[in-house]
């Protein structure tokens, strides 16, 4: 059950972070306005990353491991990106949107890579 949740959260991370990244780039380019819905999508994308890492640690505590150790690196790097994005914030809102958009795009890519090296696809 927990492994299934971990799998579906991984798919959600990839999806929601791609949405947050594209939306953020559109806001940064001033093609869309920044609004509360965008802020909530961005917050959700980061929350799902942290939740996924916690579930991954829970799976490790149950001695459930994947064959390729790179899965753990690719799985934890998005958490580091969230921490980095918050630590790199400044006073310029446009710069902050760009930082969070880049972080979301990288998180989606790293999560996709974690999914690919997990061994689920065979």
Q: For the purposes of burial, counting CB atoms within 10 Å of the CB of 107, is it exposed (0-12), middle (13-18) or buried (19 or more)?
A: buried
Q: What's the CA gap between 112 and 27, in Å, rounded? A: 24
Query: For 38-74, how does the pLDDT look when each residue is reduced to its tens digit (9 = 90+)?
Result: 999 999 999 999 999 999 999 999 998 888 889 999 9
pLDDT for 22-44, tens place per residue? 999 999 999 999 999 999 999 99
**Count of C-beta atoms within a 10 Å radius of residue 48:** 20
pLDDT confidence of residue 66: 87
d(CA 56, CA 66): 11
Residue with the two structure tokens 């880049």: 102
3-state secondary structure of 89: coil
Mean pLDDT score of the chain: 94
The 10s digit of each residue's pLDDT in 88-99 is 999 999 999 999
Domain 2-117 fold is 1.20.120
């Amino acid at each position: 059950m927990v492994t299934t949740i971990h799998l579906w959260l991984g798919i959600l991370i990839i999806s929601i972070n791609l949405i947050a990244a594209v939306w953020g780039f559109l806001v940064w380019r001033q093609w869309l306005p920044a609004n509360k819905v965008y802020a909530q999508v961005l917050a959700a994308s980061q929350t799902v990353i942290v939740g996924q890492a916690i579930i991954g640690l829970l799976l490790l505590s149950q001695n459930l491991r994947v064959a390729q150790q790179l899965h753990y690196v690719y799985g934890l790097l998005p958490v580091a990106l969230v921490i980095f994005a918050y630590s790199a914030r400044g006073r310029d809102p446009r710069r902050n949107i760009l930082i969070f958009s880049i972080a979301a795009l990288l998180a989606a890519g790293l999560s996709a890579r974690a999914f690919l090296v997990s061994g689920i696809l065979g």
